[in-house]
Structure 1
Amino acid sequence: MSDSCSSSDSSFEESDKYNQNCNRIINHNHEFLSSTDYARDDNGDVHNHRIAGVTSPPIRYRESHIHIVEVLTDTFDDHFHVIRYTTGRAINLPGGKHIHLVRGVTSRNDGHQHNFYFTTLIENPSSVPEGRRC
């Protein structure tokens, strides 16, 4: 990240200064919702799945952070898929907010898998503490 919330030190022992300067970067998660691409299952049915959930808390990564996404898709014709990935680094938005990209492939179930590609929602979209903007 290129703002005042950055820290090149990746050790958590030194994170107190980072935490005091930008608490919302350390303590937050993101909601997400999307759909997979379409695929054909063992019965020949073409379908997709819905994805929805909440990320893990942030994990420091270089001068930014990432999150873990671990969720099950919705069920279609008695099967679902597992998604276990990490997000990309934070993509800064105006007003001190950010999002993350997530791209990958679901687990293989019922003879197929699905690709997915989505962005997380803005973290804590309704509240930016005054004086804590980064």
Structure 2
Amino acid sequence: MTELSPEVDSSKFETLVERLVRGTPQRNIVWSETPRRDAFVTILGHGSVEVSRCQEFDDAGSPMEWFELIVITPNGQVVERLSSIPNLSGMDSVPFDARKLAELYRQARASATGANDVLDGILGELSK
């Protein structure tokens, strides 16, 4: 199992995910689509955070799904990679709670695609 760099306090990642989950629905955090399918990014002053849904097939052909969070410096260097499935396919990642990453992914996707605005518009039209 990959461990966090010794100088990185693991509780900071818990706090980061919690604040992103709390701030996204309030629109304090704005997410954008990335060139990668099923990946969304928020750009902040001291770096950016990307959250993605990943899919792969195991040896038996069954689909596997996991979520990943990547913390990136303003220069584009990956600081840390958290994943709900550690070390899959040799990826250097730190294990993290799948439910929390899945919730963050859903919120980031809704923010980036404007899903709530679309639904509000449709509901407004239907209420007339």
* TM-score between the two structures when normalised by the length of structure 1: 0.32
Larger fraction in helix? 2
Q: Larger C-alpha radius of gyration, 1 or 2? A: 1
